Amino acid sequence: MEHERILSVYECLCRYTDKSKGISLKEIKRYISLSGNLKNVSDLTLRRDIERLVTMGHDIRIEHGPHNTAYYRLIQHSFSFNEIRFIVDSISINKFLSDSQKRRFIRKFEGMCSDAEIRRLAGRIPLNSGSVFSSELMDNLENIHSIIEKNQKINFDYGRFNIQKKMVYYRKNRNIIPVKVIYFSTRFYLKCVDIESGKFRTYRIDRMKNISGGETVVSDFSYGEDSDGVVLDMFEPEYFEFVTLHVKRFLMDDMIEWLGSDVNIREDFDDEEFIFVNARIGISRGFYR
């Protein structure tokens, strides 16, 4: 009950105060009574709760108004308003969440805003509901991270489209270790190591289901952060090579976006409409595509 009350007091301060507006203990009592069904809480108890919030690092200021009434203001929330707006906008355009999931997440962040800030959030990016998404994606991600933490092998059904454009799931014996979850080109992928061959395998997480952990293994396999060059897709390159591309000048921005700011670019003095782009690139089927 004590933790519930302190959280309710914090929610009240988030919702109704900011650096220019405060509320009294009487108003806090009314809020926790209506929202948390917490009645008959004394002023002394509320003051102690606010002191505990201050001790936890929250910047709560006290001002005294007419009739020596104290007004409490939460100056800095856990996130700034601009940070919350960025997160809310990111949720709104996320293709992997349903509308109901988006609204539920957004309401949680609205609980960290004042009423005035919630009104400012009203102009957020509209919910993008036209995308195809997997409602199981979040559960899949949580399950996979748990298996990676436990150093287990992984088993799952994997889906592929058939000729009728229906997703068909297949299950087979997999002797693989999950290594790392990667986000690439708007999709989540799981990198695994085949124990027998030592080669990497890549799977789209939104096409996995019935995920389960297998036996615990001791392995020194790791998916390195440092590559010997630019990797252009999710699949491991066969080798790395310095590549020179002869492209139209208007593609220069795209080249820098894809290959990084360290890419070498030089003029084609024989044709001003073209440039030469040189970078060390992982050679794979993805590169030729």
CATH number at residue 41: 1.10.10.10
116 and 145 both lie in a single domain: no
**Residue 231 domain-assigned?**
no
107 and 148 both lie in a single domain: no
Instruction: Give the residue carrying structure tokens 């997703």.
Output: 167
Enclosing domain of residue 260: 239-288
Which pLDDT score is estimated for 198? 85
Beta bridge partners of residue 147, listed in sequence order: none
Residue-level length of the chain = 289
**The total number of structural domains that make up the chain:** 4
Separation CA 124–CA 189 (nearest Å): 29
Which pLDDT score is estimated for 152? 93
Contact 122, 159 (CB under 8 A): no
40 and 93 both lie in a single domain: no
**Residue 129 domain-assigned?**
no
163 and 115 both lie in a single domain: no
Which pLDDT score is estimated for 246? 96
**Residue 232 domain-assigned?**
no
- Which parts of the chain have pLDDT scores under 50? 130-132
How many CA atoms are closer than 13 Å to the CA of 203, on its beta-carbon side? Answer: 28
184 and 160 both lie in a single domain: yes
Which pLDDT score is estimated for 177? 94
269 and 253 both lie in a single domain: yes
**Residue 57 domain-assigned?**
yes
42 and 85 both lie in a single domain: no
**CA nearest 50: which of 74, 32, 27, 30?**
74
Structure tokens at 55: 């001790």
**Residue 127 domain-assigned?**
no
Residue type, 110: E
Which pLDDT score is estimated for 104? 84
Which pLDDT score is estimated for 219? 65
List, for residues 180-205, the tens digit of each pLDDT value.
888 877 788 999 999 888 888 899 99
50 and 114 both lie in a single domain: no
List, for residues 80-129, the tens digit of each pLDDT value.
777 888 888 888 877 777 788 888 888 878 877 777 777 777 666 665 55
142 and 207 both lie in a single domain: yes
Structure tokens at 274: 């073209």
Which pLDDT score is estimated for 36? 67
29 and 95 both lie in a single domain: no
**Residue 248 domain-assigned?**
yes
**Residue 131 domain-assigned?**
no
For residue 162, the domain's CATH number is 2.30.30
Handedness of CA 89, 93, 98, 100 (dihedral sign): positive
Contact 268, 246 (CB under 8 A): yes
61 and 86 both lie in a single domain: no
Which pLDDT score is estimated for 128? 56
**Residue 47 domain-assigned?**
yes
144 and 198 both lie in a single domain: yes
